[in-house]
Structure 1
Amino acid sequence: MISLIPQRCFTRRSFLTAGTTCLALGLTGIAHAGAQMEEPLVDSVRSALSAAVSGQAPPEPLFASTDARMEYLRWLTSMSDKLHRRMPDWEVRRDFLQTVWYEAKRSGLEVSLVLGLIQVESGFRKFAVSVAGARGYMQIMPFWTRVIGDGDAGKLFHMQTNVRFGCVILRHYLERERGDLFMALGRYNGSRGKDKYPNLVLGAQRQWLFDANAPRKA
């Protein structure tokens, strides 16, 4: 059984009309505004983050009830349909979505938020590299592998490693910002306090929302 961190009520400022504006302008590609900045960490935080990024590959999802399993499968089908154009291979798409679902839940994040962030950061490109040197799906800066990992930055092109680092880092920033998603997203992008990046991520997030109560297709 997957042990989940309870999700928190994030403090969200007014992001203008982020979703509508971003979708209307087609701002769904890669953001080039910056990357995470290296900051000193106290030993307790460093140890906690190191523990959070360690561990084996996630097991196949286990659920407490048939209803929970069916809801996950409906989510997987819905997200797979949306992602098909970007990831045509079914097995690659399934493994990616399962990993994002697992790692987001593990870190107490909304899965749609993580998918929106990946869309903005890398356009779902596994081997994306930014001008600042950030790598992979969630555009992780290599210094993180030295600070809380084993120092092997090449592992950031491994799907689960990249997504796990990204989720753990975003959760860390949320803790630092006392649940303020606007400021946490700014930290993640290296543009703390500016509107552009949070607007892009929240606009993209809307495309990955899942309504479990929506009528099922025949």
Structure 2
Amino acid sequence: SPARLVFADSREGERWLAAMSSRLARFIPDEGERRRLLVNIQYESSRAGLNTQVILGLIEVESAFRQYAISGVGARGLMQVMPFWKNYIGNPSHNLFDIRTNLRYGCTILRHYNNIEKGNIVRSLARFNGSLGSNKYPNAVLGAWRNRWQWG
């Protein structure tokens, strides 16, 4: 089924989408592309029970919203998912550059770490980044969230 905004009130969803789209413009000039991406991010993060605004901060830090980003160690896409995850939570044929697939994986992985860390988002983010014991990465994500993506 296609991704859709998950809000109790559809007008609130539209307000959110308009506000986030204007904030995302510096990264993605095309409005249609921004809206489609935001709907997918909001849908997948809500589905995983994660704070959408924190996920926006994470994607800003990980890939600057570049769908085809590849890190020096081979992490892929918006949320910089390592290909080995396909063997654990998916299928080797999955394309991590596909927006919906990348978000589904990234949100599933962060949710897994958030469960392990009993909701401690700082430790969950550090695990996501493979840097448990350092707060550099969590601080960058939470800084992006506070500076650009806070809502409500």
Alignment check: 8 A CA contact 2:61 2:144 kept: yes
**Any unmatched runs of 5+ in structure 2?**
none
Q: With CA pairs under 8 Å and 6+ residues apart, which has the higher RCO, 1 or 2?
A: 1
What is the TM-score with the length of structure 1 in the denominator? 0.66
Alignment check: 8 A CA contact 1:145 1:151 kept: yes
Alignment check: 8 A CA contact 2:5 2:42 kept: no
Number of residues of Structure 1 aligned to a counterpart in Structure 2 = 151
Report the RMSD for the aligned CA atoms in angstroms. 1.3
Q: Which has the larger radius of gyration?
A: 1
Equivalent runs, 1:51-130 vs 2, <5 Å? 56-58=1-3, 60-61=4-5, 68-130=9-71
Q: 1:166 is matched with which residue?
A: 106
Q: 1:36 is matched with which residue?
A: none
Q: 2:90 is matched with which residue?
A: 149
Residues 80 and 172 (structure 1 numbering): CA distance in 2 closer, same or farther, change over 3 Å?
A: same
Residues 62 and 118 (structure 1 numbering): CA distance in 2 closer, same or farther, change over 3 Å?
A: closer
Q: Which runs of 4+ in 1 moved over 2 A?
A: 60-64
Alignment check: 8 A CA contact 2:6 2:46 kept: no
Q: 1:137 is matched with which residue?
A: 78
What is the TM-score with the length of structure 2 in the denominator? 0.94
**Any unmatched runs of 5+ in structure 1?**
1-55, 212-218
**Aligned-partner SS, 1:136:** coil
Does residue 185 of the first structure (1) align with residue 91 of the second (2)? no
For residue 62 of structure 1, report the CA deviation from its aligned partner: 6.5
The separation in 2 between residues aligned to 1:97 and 1:112, in whole angstroms, is 11
1:115 maps to amino acid: L
User: How many percent identity over aligned positions?
Assistant: 48
For residue 63 of structure 1, report the CA deviation from its aligned partner: 5.6
The separation in 2 between residues aligned to 1:62 and 1:113, in whole angstroms, is 16
Structure having the larger proportion of residues in helix: 2
Alignment check: 8 A CA contact 1:182 1:193 kept: no
